[in-house]
Amino acid sequence: MRPWSDRPIQDCLESLEHLPPQLFRIEPHPYASIGAPYGPGRDPFRLRSGVVRRLLEAQDQLCSHAPELQFAIFDAWRPISVQAFMVNYTIDQLCRERGVERHDPAQQAALHQVEADVARFWASPSRNPETPPPHSTGAAVDLTLATGTGALLQMGGDIDAIGAVSEPNYYANATKPEAQMFHQRRDLLRSVMASAGFIQHPNEWWHYSYGDQLWAWRSGAECAIYAEAGSRSATA
């Protein structure tokens, strides 16, 4: 359970919309390219209509502050089957990095630590309608900054990196010029997204949402307005 999991949801039933062409996408899609099971015709570059509108507003704010920059969309809507695939994939990757054998009884303590570290960044693929993963609602987007030609800016840590470097304020007290630049870029992204009503995940510099339970918790809203977007009413 997350601190925001107890927020009630009253779905406003907005549709999922394809991201418009003025929002640059990182392609091939990073999860689809490793075999995540989206299924035929299930475009991950979709968000609820109100979220798309706010994302365009935020990019307008970015252009007014830094005309040479644009958003680069890493990931958007994520069905729960993909969430489950990616949680398992990330655990496998981290186990390999740390030399942990998942099925070795002698390494269960190390495995539990890997699972706990992954859980700080990856929501459980819950099928409970009261606790949907943020991306599965169509309310959350992972993004970064890019030049007008699509070159990604260095932000001081990769999207989906497991560790403290992913925390939004990791470089807040930096003294080296490059690290200060990373903080300024993260802060610019946070500022323009906040101007359109988005909130930031407390552990991830790249993750923003509007309308889900995390947003309700951090914004003080009485309830979330987006449930899991897998039903006909949410995707029509």
Query: Residue 186 in contact with residue 168, Cβ under 8 Å?
Result: yes
| Three-state secondary structure string covering 86-138 | HHHHHHHHHHHHHCCCCCCHHHHHHHHHHHHHHHCCCCCCCCCCCCCCHHHHC
Nearest alpha-carbon partner for 185 in 227, 211, 155? 155
How does 80-89 read in b/e, with b if 16+ C-beta sit within 10 Å? bbbbbbbbeb
- What CA–CA distance (Å, rounded) separates 45 from 18? 6
Contacts of 219 (CB under 8 A, 6+ apart): 199
Determine the 3-state secondary structure of 47 from DSSP.
strand
| Catalytic residue chosen out of the listed positions 14, 27, 167, 204 | 204
Query: Is 97 considered catalytic here?
Result: no
Query: Residue 17 in contact with residue 139, Cβ under 8 Å?
Result: no
Pairing of β 199-200 and β 207-209: antiparallel
**Residue reference for tokens 């987007």:** 141
Residues with a known catalytic role: 204
